[in-house]
Amino acid sequence: MRKLNCRLIVSDFDGTLIDDNQTILPKVKQAIDEYVSNGGIFAVCTGRMLRSILPQVKKLGLRGLVIAYQGTVIADIESGKIIKNGGMPYEYVAEICRVLESLNQPINIYSDNLLYTDIEEGNEYLELYEKIVEVKAEHVCGKMSDFVEKEKLFCQKVAILVKSEERDELYDMLKERLGSRFDVTCSASVLVEVSPLGDNKGEALKYLADYYNIPLELTVAAGDNLNDLPMILVAGTGVAVGNAAPALKKAANFVSVTNNEGALAQIIEKFGFA
């Protein structure tokens, strides 16, 4: 048995744990298996829907808890039982949608295991997104705000698919207009997301540490984008992968190699074992 240096490693999924081809490199899988077999706890904390991430962590052979919707939903991997199901009442979601409609932005809303969109069928960006997350969107005709109010949808988040060169401008605009009441963040170069204030990856990491009775100083968190910033700051050791956003690299204690080079294998070896 190898001696552990930290007892809990929490990783983002897209852009961190998996490479750009949406695969887990063999050396990353081997490193995770070795860490877990020696008594460490490895968990995934992602912005993906639970419906999207649950099959992935099962394929990895992980047990225990998984974090979805960047902290809003926490579930047991083996049973699928939801331990925490946060979100926003339909009045808040409709308000966010009206702001986006005033900006002529396309809207995706996430209600438990369902994804709704007002983007027309056949849109190449939407189809690529659906392929990556392995979830087919339900198309909504008319204003999304009206649909949300009519169906009284309780939602985990609202997301906007944008061109990468337009993301930062939209992020800044929504941060100014909605940031005092909601969490506005980015999980990818083409996504801006609005979710419940306080339901972030940092709070999720605190929950995991408490659940497993592990001091925060014995935790490591790794990520690549702005939605990972809260857990990078909360963890005993915060790591930005080599392909991470500049703001995340600046805040991290360590910058690893990229996801395409097997970042998690390096992180586990460097910080997981004594």
pLDDT digits (tens, 9 = 90+) for 208-256: 999 999 999 999 999 999 999 999 999 999 999 999 999 999 999 999 9
Closest Cα partner for 197 from 21, 72, 51? 72
Helix (H, G, I), strand (E, B) or coil at 187: strand
Residue 138, C-beta contacts closer than 8 angstroms, at least 6 positions apart? 114, 115, 116, 117
Tokens of 54: 């649950």
Summarised one tens digit per residue, pLDDT across range 49-94 is 999 999 999 999 999 999 999 999 999 999 999 999 999 999 999 9
Residue with tokens 């999207």: 52
Summarised one tens digit per residue, pLDDT across range 254-264 is 999 999 999 99
- 232 class by beta-carbon count within 10 Å (0-12 exposed, 13-18 middle, 19+ buried): buried
Structural Rg of the chain based on CA atoms: 18
Closest Cα partner for 103 from 154, 153, 177? 177
Summarised one tens digit per residue, pLDDT across range 126-178 is 999 999 999 999 999 999 999 999 999 999 999 999 999 999 999 999 999 99
Q: How far apart are CA 39 and CA 82, in angstroms?
A: 25
